[in-house]
Structure formats: structure tokens, C-alpha cells
Amino acid sequence: MAAVLASGPGAVVSHRSAGALWRVRDTAAARVDVTVPRAQRSRAGLRVHRAVLPADEVTIRRGIPVTSAPRTLLDLATVILPRQLERAIEEAEALRLADPLSLSDLVARHDGRPGVPALRRVLDSWRVGATLTRSELEERFLAFLDARGLARPEVNAWVETAAGWFEVDCLWRPARVIVELDGYTRHGTRAAFERDRARDRALQAAGWRVIRVTWRQLHEQPRLVAAELQAVLMQLSPS
């Protein structure tokens, strides 16, 4: 707050400092980042950025004027590495930092500005398979197995555990291996996260090996996923 007051009217915490305030990325920077509407020089303890921010890109957090969570991620995209940016976005999602202005809206608004290409690459990567239905995921996974000569599983099979019966996506019964195909629309909430973990514990206690696979993983790392799945099936299949 002292940094904002020292920077004059319209100043807000931004960039790395805003990331720390939103708890999406820690910073060890000695200076506080602030964005101001008029040209100023950086000075001891302050790193000053100049921008006229729309009203929906600023807010108040813990009593301190700060860039909104989406705008903070856009600003971070200009000063951190791509993998660090992806982790910051993941953290924002985990913290449920909802905002009326979405990241996609922000990218469209600021098309061509620094940080936008990096942010767009992360968003495009995350969209892979995001709209697939359960049946589409299953069909594509079966095609993935066929293309690599891996045995087809039972699909939408039922398994009994001490906690009750569970329907699983893909089941190799002799090897006691289960693959659950995780799509964001089915597993992207806190309740679903907790439910999935309880379900996995029950299945593992009953002697099943549970592997979770996303379509994004199949799309970006097909050889690795195939090799790992083949190794598990060969290892656990009865001789």
C-alpha cells in the first residue's frame, strides 16, 4: 500500500508484486511493481510501469489497489518464462480466482501487445480436448490404443470394492488395470477432485491399478503415454 500511495493517483500494484498478492506466484524481488497512468521513473523500492488500465482490469485485494487476476497474468507473461506462466495460471485456476473478464477476453482485447502470444499459447494448449464428450474421449483413446498395437480394454465396466460398485472408463481385467479418461468438464471442480481421489483409494484398496490420462497428455506425449501403459500392462499381466 505504501508503494501505491507513493506513486500517486491511479497507481496499482502489478506484475510480479500483483502475482504475489494474488498468491499465484511468489517473488523475491526487492522492488514493488506498480502501474501508473502517467510517466514516472522507477526509484528505490519501486519498479514503475506505465499503462492506462480499463476499470475492469483493476480491483481491490486486501485493501490494496491491484491489477485484476487476469490482467496480472497478462503482465506476468511479459516478465516470466512460459513454464512459470503456465504454473501461475494453474495456481489461479486452483484458487478459483474468477473474474467477469476472462483470460480469453483479455487476450482478444490486447491482441498484438507484449505477453499476449505467450498467454495465447498456454490457453490454446489447455483447450486441447477440453470440449470432448465422454464418448468422444473413449473413442479417441481406443483409436490411440489400436494405432499402437495395445490391447483393447472393457469400456464402461463395473468393478466391485468394499465401498461399493464403480463404473470405470477402461478396464483390463486380467491385469487389474483401470484407465480413467479425465476431461476438464467432468473433473474440473473441487467436488470432482475430492470424489475422484476417494474413488481411486477404494479401487486401489481392492487391488486395482488406477491410471488417469487426459486427452492433452495423449495429444502432446503419445509415445510416453503408450510406453508407460504398455509397461504397466506387461508388468501386471499374469504369466
pLDDT for 94 equals: 77
Do 28 and 109 share a domain, yes or no? yes
- Burial (CB count within 10 angstroms: exposed 0-12, middle 13-18, buried 19+), residue 215: buried
pLDDT values of the chain reduced to their tens digit, one per residue, 239 residues: 999 999 999 999 999 999 999 999 998 888 999 999 998 988 889 999 999 999 999 999 999 999 999 999 999 999 999 989 989 998 988 788 888 888 889 999 999 999 999 999 888 776 655 555 677 788 889 999 999 999 999 999 999 999 999 999 999 999 999 999 876 545 455 666 788 889 999 999 999 999 998 888 888 889 999 999 999 888 755 54
Q: Which of 173, 145, 169 is nearest to 236 (CA)?
A: 173
Do 171 and 227 share a domain, yes or no? yes
C-alpha cell at 37: 497512468
Which residues form the domain of 153?
A: 134-236
pLDDT for 95 equals: 85
pLDDT for 130 equals: 54
pLDDT for 239 equals: 47
- For the chain, how many structural domains are there in total? 2
Domain harbouring 219, CATH code: 3.40.960.10
- Residues of the chain by 3-state class (helix, strand, coil), percent to 5: 45, 20, 30
